[in-house]
Amino acid sequence: MKYFKQFVFVLLLTTAFPLLAEVSVSSLNLMPFPKNIVVKTGEFRLNADFSLALEGVGGQRIYVNATRMLRRLSNRTGLFFQQDFITAETRSDTADMIVKTTRIGRLGLGEDESYKLIVTPEKVTLSAETDLGAIRGLESLLQLLSADENGYFFPAVEIDDAPRFPWRGLMIDVSRHFMPVDVIKRNLDGMAAVKMNVFHWHLSDNQGIRVESKSLPNLQSMCSDGMFYTQEQIRDIIAYADERGIRVIPEFDVPAHCAAWMVGYPFLASGPGPYKIARYWGVFDQTMNPAKESTYEFLDVFFKEMAALFPDEYLHIGGDENTGKEWSANPEIQAFMKANGIDDNHALQKHFNLRVLEILTRYNKKMIGWDEIFQPALPKNIVIHSWRGYKALDETARKGYMSILSNGYYIDLIQPAEYHYLIDPIPEGSTLSEEQKKFILGGEATSWAELVVPETIDSRIWPRTACIAERFWSPQSVNDVESMYRRMEIVSGQMEELDLQHIKNYDYMLRRLANGNDISALKRFVDVVEPVKIYNRHFQGIKYASFSPYTRVVDAARPESMTARRFRKMTDDFIDNKNVGVVPELTAMLQSWKSNHDELKKTINLSPVLKEIETMSQDLSIISTVGIEAIEYVKKGKPAPDKWLAESKSALAQAKEPRGQAELAIAPTIEKLIRSCEK
């Protein structure tokens, strides 16, 4: 095979260059996709004699990651490698793989994470300026692992890779629902696997303060329900993240989102109280009092301690969703505003933010906060975190402020991977200058925890966050949706080795829902069900609380049904491209759903928790019958009778209605089939 230089479109070229299809489809399952890649002839064959050595500057981080890569490779292949731990003493003259680093990287904004990976039939060479770049390259090598009848191998390639954005983050909210240490660690492993480098830790909100304070012990004794991280655990997680090249940025949300603070320290409050830890979800009025000097004295003590605990140069102060109602109703605060020439609550929050900034600066921290903190009086070394949209991101960049984007990456909104994938921090057609674009640092996926618990959080984060990670790392031109879905499914399976539970907990939850009975029919049903989108789950008859059950069908259902997506793609091919070759599989799928209700009803009768989806199961059977009949009308090339159309549309309207805060993901595709039968 001739050398063929492939940049970011390697997986998109299989149609135009069918001779390369085997390489691009079977071997290059890389996510994020590299900046530049050249596919060569041949492959490096693996056997039990495979060994690895380091050259250049070492350090604990690269030793740990090289050893982890070796163990993961051994576990995937079953090969009994003789090498145990990678150390500085490992001989490089006999090693099959050489990892070369020039210096130990600093975990901070803008550090070099580039790497070059060369695989030949004789040797594997990974070189990087920093150990951080090297560990990104190790993940790419693991993703290159391929197999055939002769065993395991790495395809011969040359990769020259570097991230597009320096800030590639995941925020995990541990206040609404507390997440134990093992949950955090396995998600850090997932982040490292797709080259993310910022863990944003949302540690405080109305539902609890999740960090131990030696200086202010009421925070854990009165403000956390006993669910918090000790300082020893926090240091352990920071060290764990550091080994994987991930920064840890804590968020302590002030002056709003802070009802829990007032439980232990009521003098902070702007309102009369009494205060208690919030058990329900929503935007609350409780706000810190910005007119009292004691508020800033308290925050000085707290942030001094947290600045010493968290080594990253940035600290997130939240600053969002202050209703201002308590400020407006407090005579003391109103008098303070009048005396200091503060015109409104917006200006008062600016005053508060500047005072907090003084505190953070005193302890050598830079401030990051949500959109609402943005004020021209703030220094240019802060970071504005945009949750409200690109307009705010654009404005801050034009004024010379650094910013990151989360709008479009709210994974708790239960939107499909395709939606997140096509959101870009710097969209095509941006009118920002090249210099202004540099102020947009990247973005973060956000996992808000109102509706997730440790059992379900992985399924809400993964695998969709892998496609967001690609958006932050890969060139903007890497945007083929079909390629993304294919590679994401493979990476999703690989992530199970990291103990991520987004796949295995699905069957476990279904077994519990089925009350220990056979889950075949239930699984067939839930495979085509999705939770309702955006935040509609909060407005469908159930008032959720922190102590509510998150064990129902809606919790087991995936954010995006891959079965429904496949059904939609085949239906599009049938209707739009007149491809009758897909009809047998389409019909088989519809037949399986049509007959499923009778079987599932037996399970429902043995497990009352499933009663809430019984009518939806029946509707799935009915609209599947409609789909089968619609296909026959389309095949015959003549419109369906008006009576059939009316009855089918009525059945579809009923099937579209959510039940149990879940909805049938195939309904829009059935609707397309019905429309294709009209005159």
State the helix-helix crossing angle for 181-193 and 231-243, rounded to 10 degrees. Answer: 20
Specify whether 321 is catalytic.
yes
According to the 3-state scheme, what is the secondary structure of 649-678? Answer: HHHHHHHHCCECCEEECCHHHHHHHHHCCC
Coil, strand, or helix at residue 569? helix
Residue 46 carries which DSSP code?
Answer: P
The torsion angles phi and psi of 257, rounded to 5 degrees, stand at 55, 40
d(CA 117, CA 645): 59
Residue (of 438, 445, 435) closest to 465 by Cα position: 445
Active-site option among 55, 321, 455, 496: 321
Q: Do 65 and 139 touch, CB atoms closer than 8 A?
A: no
CA-based diameter of the chain, in Å?
Answer: 81
SS (H, E, C) 293-327: HHHHHHHHHHHHHHHHHCCCCEEEEECCCCCCHHH
Q: What is d(CA 369, CA 348) in angstroms, rounded to the nearest whole number?
A: 16
- Helix (H, G, I), strand (E, B), or coil: what is residue 493? helix
- Residue 77 to residue 71: CA distance in whole angstroms: 10
Q: How many CB atoms lie within 10 A of CB 194?
A: 26
Tokens of 399: 């004024």
Angle CA(342)–CA(345)–CA(348) in degrees, nearest 5? 50
The candidate with the shortest Cα–Cα distance to 542, out of 284, 321, 281, 285, is 281
**Chain-centre distance for alpha carbon 68:** 23
Pull the structure tokens for residue 429: 């057609």
Rg over CA atoms, the chain: 27
State the Cα angle at 566 between 22 and 479, rounded to 5°. Answer: 60
Residue 302 one-letter amino acid:
F
Give the total residue count for the chain: 679
Q: Which residues face 36 on adjacent strands?
A: 160
Contact 161, 140 (CB under 8 A): yes
Coil/strand/helix, residue 600: helix
Taking a C-beta distance cutoff of 8 angstroms, is the pair 133, 115 a contact?
A: yes
Q: How many CB atoms lie within 10 A of CB 517?
A: 15
Q: Where in the sequence numbering do the catalytic residues fall?
A: 321
